[in-house]
A and B are shown apart, each in its own frame.
Chain A
Amino acid sequence: MALSGLVLVLFVLGHMLGNLQIFLGADVINAYAYKLHHLLPASALWGIRLFLLGTVTVHIWTAISLTLDNRKARPQGYDVKKSLQSSYGARTMRMSGIIVLAFILFHIAHYTARVVPSMEYGDASVLSPNEVPLVKHGHAVVKEGEPIMTFNVNDMMVDGFQVWWVSAFYIIATGLLCLHLSHGFSSMFQSVGLRNTLWRKRLDCLAVLYAWVIFLGFAVIPVACLAGILKEDPSGGLPGPVAAITETLHK
């Protein structure tokens, strides 16, 4: 539980930092996505995906077996039971976990597998659907005379988050993830015994801080999309009007 949790805790931080690059421009987030897909061979990408899938599986499996054991340990419950000092987040780990899992499945279908109906996964404008040139320092990256084309992640994100319920589900799910982390982050130190009286208070504070950072870091993107701060960019981040861009491409 703790070790798989550690991997996932670090993953969400990396994922959040990656996503925040959308604020640096369409060219930056598209180049980041391109790097993720092409820096390592496809087998390594699948290796990482399978590792994450395995980690999630271990996390869920240990949670289920722990829950079943714990249910068995108290066949008859109390008529009256008060919570003494446990936090709301700690008591609702199962519910927040299940809802976050449902979100992850939707999220992967939405942005990784790209199979959610009615979502536009490309912009049928001047350039070919889905594809925009890979941009570096304001210029299209050209390889062997041809510009390298890449998926327009910027538009996919902005487009997705302009659907109100997608954004609402996203913000609620990341809120629950925040709640989940507020207990999970410090709990993993307790489980492996890396905590004492002094560090317990610090880690509990750090857990709440970490959870808020993760929540705000994720939730700010759909909010910015809905508020119109982040816009679609069919050129993929090339400067100048689209017409000029296509012109340079055809040269």
Chain B
Amino acid sequence: MEKTMNLTLRVWRQKNRLSVGKFETYQLSDISEDSSFLEMLDILSEQLVADGHEPVAFDHDCREGICGMCSMTINGMPHGPEQGTTACQLHMRHFHDGQTITIEPWRAKPFPVLKDLIVDRTPMDKIIQAGGFITGRAGSAVDANAMPIDKQTADYAMDAAACIGCGACVAACPNASAMLFTAAKVSHMNSLPQGKAEKDRRSLAMVTTMDGEGFGGCTNIGECEAACPKGIPLDMIAQLNRDYAVAQVKNFFQPVL
């Protein structure tokens, strides 16, 4: 039999980028444990609209955990209490009847709140723009077998490419650092032969952009890794640090940037 629960929600409400936000408390009853977290928020919004209030604004798109749009801190944990799970794939069975759930947007200076739980994650796009590309032949697709890549490298690059750019790493980091995100992108492209041409340039450009956007510095404590819904490992930050150091040395003797 389907179980239902009654919840108290503390949701961050903020009209726009310039206004001052605050928490609003809502009561929600008869929520099915099979509904997803976002469906629960949909029910809340329907209730608010029926009462003549503004619905809660939050980012979402695919609702199957691969687009990286949903972005909310649930009870102090980005994407909520389940490991390796985005907020959209989180189900209400991980909560219990009578629980108070606090929902906040990502908190970071480079991520200003646009409305309620929606933040502007443009700075991550800027990091991608700075070096998230390769020099490739334009025109028809290259034959997949034209460039042999060993299995380990392909697997590693695939693990790095799993990053959906949701920003949970930044949200979880006590320093609001974007190192894990940047590391995933750098590890993905620097490890593949297609990305080797811009390797040093990429490492420098992406880190410089990251710093310039106002993200904090890494203190190697590993909160990002635990919050990442795609399990990007901390070891990729080590690779970023390594590639960055090598690029700095090369850049000193012969500018690559």
Task: Judge: A and B partners, yes or no.
Answer: yes
Decide if A75 touches B109 in the complex (CB within 8 Å): yes
B220 and A191: CB pair below 8 A? Answer: yes
State the majority secondary structure of interface residues on A.
loop
* Complex contact A197–B235 (CB within 8 A): yes
**Interfacial chain A residues near B77, Cβ < 8 Å:** 82, 84
Partner of B102, one of A69, A70, A79, A83: A79
Interchain CB contact under 8 A, B215 and A73: yes
Chain B CB within 8 A of A35 CB: no
Q: Is A208 an interface residue (CB 8 A)?
A: no
Q: Given A86-B222, A90-B220, A195-B238, check contact A70 B177 (CB 8 Å).
A: yes
Which of B28-36, B138-146, B239-247 touches A?
B239-247
Per-position binary interface string of chain A over residues 184-225, scored 1 when its CB falls under 8 Å from any chain B CB and 0 otherwise: 001101111111110010000000000000000000000000
Is A91 an interface residue when CB atoms closer than 8 A count as contact?
A: yes
B223 & A194 in contact (Cβ 8 Å cutoff): no
With A76-B107, A78-B104 already in contact, the answer to whether A193 and B221 are too (CB < 8 A) is no
Give A56 to B245 CA distance when docked, in angstroms: 23
Q: Which of B44-52, B126-134, B225-233 contacts A (4 or more CB under 8 A)?
A: B225-233
Decide if A85 touches B76 in the complex (CB within 8 Å): no
Beta-carbon nearest neighbor of A184 in chain B: B220
Minimum CB–CB distance for B96 against chain A, Å: 17
* Chain A, residue nearest B175 (CB): A70
B217 A86 Cβ-Cβ under 8 A? no
> Nearest CB to that of A82 among chain B residues?
B76
Tell me, in angstroms, the Cα distance from A79 to B214 when the chains sit together: 22
Task: Pick the residue among A78, A190, A192 that contacts B73 (CB under 8 A).
Answer: A78
Partner among A81, A187, A193 whose Cβ is within 8 Å of the Cβ of B243: A193
B110 interface residue (CB < 8 Å to A): yes
Asked whether A148 is an interface residue with its Cβ less than 8 Å from the other chain, the reply is no
With known contacts A83-B223, A84-B223, A192-B241, A70–B176 Cβ distance under 8 A: yes
Contacts of A66 in B (CB 8 A): 217, 219
Q: Given A192-B241, A195-B238, A200-B234, is A73 in contact with B216 using a C-beta cutoff of 8 Å? A: yes
Q: Chain B residues with Cβ under 8 A from A196's Cβ?
A: 235, 238
For A194, the chain B residues whose CB sits under 8 A away are: 238, 242
A25 to B202, CA, bound (A): 59
For chain A, the bracket of interface size reads 35 or more
Residues of chain A within 8 A (CB-CB) of B104 are: 78-80
What chain A residues lie within 8 Å of B244 (beta carbons)? 193
A246 at interface by CB-CB < 8 Å: no
The residue on A at minimum CB distance from B243 is: A193
B172 CB–A CB distance under 8 Å: yes
Q: What is the chain B residue whose CB lies nearest that of A200?
A: B235
| In the complex, chain A residues whose CB is within 8 Å of the CB of B75 | 80, 82
A192 to B244, CA, bound (A): 9
| Given A66-B219, A187-B220, A193-B239, residue A84 in contact with residue B109 (CB < 8 A) | no
Using known A-B contacts A84-B226, A192-B241, determine if residue A73 contacts B109 with beta carbons closer than 8 Å: yes
Q: Within 8 Å of chain A (Cβ to Cβ): is B237? A: yes
Is B108 positioned at the interface, with any CB of A under 8 Å from its CB? yes
Provide the residues of chain B in CB contact with A38, threshold 8 Å: none
Tell me whether B234 and A190 are in contact (CB under 8 A): yes
Partner of A190, one of B10, B102, B215, B241: B241
Tell whether A180 is near chain B: CB-to-CB under 8 Å: no
Q: Which of B219, B221, B233 has the most CB of A within 10 A?
A: B219
- Nearest Cβ on chain B to A75's Cβ, whole angstroms: 6
Whether A72 sits at the interface, judged by CB under 8 Å, is yes
Residue in A72, A189, A190, A200 whose Cβ sees the most chain B Cβ within 10 Å: A190
**Known A77-B107, A79-B104: A69·B217 in contact at CB below 8 Å:** yes
A195 touching B222, Cβ below 8 Å: no
Asked if B84 is an interface residue, CB under 8 A from chain A, the answer is: no
Given contacts A83-B223, A193-B245, contact A70 B238 (CB under 8 A): no
Extra inter-chain contacts (20) besides given A69-B216, A83-B223, A193-B245, CB under 8 Å? A70-B177, A74-B109, A74-B176, A80-B75, A80-B102, A80-B104, A82-B77, A84-B226, A85-B222, A85-B223, A85-B225, A90-B221, A91-B221, A183-B220, A187-B220, A192-B242, A195-B238, A196-B235, A197-B235, A200-B235
What are 30 A-B interface contacts by the 8 Å CB criterion? A69-B216, A70-B176, A73-B177, A73-B216, A74-B107, A74-B109, A75-B109, A77-B107, A78-B76, A78-B104, A79-B10, A79-B102, A79-B104, A80-B104, A81-B76, A82-B77, A84-B77, A84-B226, A86-B221, A86-B223, A183-B221, A190-B237, A192-B241, A192-B242, A193-B240, A193-B241, A194-B238, A195-B238, A197-B235, A200-B234
List the 3 closest pairs (A to B, CB-CB), nearest first: A193-B242, A73-B216, A84-B226
